[in-house]
Copies of this chain bind each other. A is one copy, B any other.
């Protein structure tokens, strides 16, 4: 006989999932407090939290530091194979994008960058950090590294809106080849705070290495997306 005693945290999951499916709870709505849910379902906070974390892992709900749990809004569709800018494809999907520059400075390549960008240790690089989101909700944090050798004076260009636009328009350089490296990981404290997520939150890390027509690396990006905010689409064609 496989009569299993039902798992109690599962009832939290089904209860809340139904609320969401039925429409009692809509995107960005606040869930009842953990203590209230526990009382309503006659269980303890530990168990309730177990259920909430499962829904979080499924991307159905998210939490805002000590403010409560909320229903996750629609994901953003991102297609790295299309030549289109964040601000544009988010608008296209009916959401209001924002982009915030966190840091911009000149550095020299350390061991990690040299290896990743296939350049010499110590080569001058422009580093750019930025945070992007939709409808006031941050969705990804990005570190960008640009080679000054290939893009002289790039530090002083207006990079807020789109780096790739500047590269194309001001340097007449096309992105000829892009290597993507995608891995699931978790956010460190700094990234988590920017993305308004708890430390350790599951993220999708996308590394992008871009080459020009001559096969030179021009740009290296590392993006950390909230896992609940992204749906990746890639179109591949034989050639």
Contacts and interface: CB of A to CB of B under 8 A. Distances in A.
A235 interface: yes
Contact of A236 (B46, B81, B238): B81
Interface string A49-84: 000001001110000000000000001000011010
Chain A contact residues, majority secondary structure: strand
A183 B231 contact: yes
Interface stretch (A15-23, A85-93, A115-123, A172-180): A172-180
Contact of A202 (B46, B57, B178): B57
Nearest to A178: B236
A236 B180 contact: yes
A35 interface: no
A182 B182 contact: yes
Interface string A220-239: 00000001101111111111
B180 A232 contact: yes
Copies of the protein in its oligomer: 2
A174 B238 contact: yes
Given A181-B232, A182-B182, A176 B58 contact: no
A80 B83 CA distance: 20
B227 A177 contact: no
A177 B237 contact: yes
A54 B200 CA distance: 7
Nearest to A13: B200
A202 B227 CA distance: 10
User: Nearest 5 CB-CB pairs, A to B?
Assistant: A182-B232, A184-B227, A180-B234, A178-B236, A57-B186
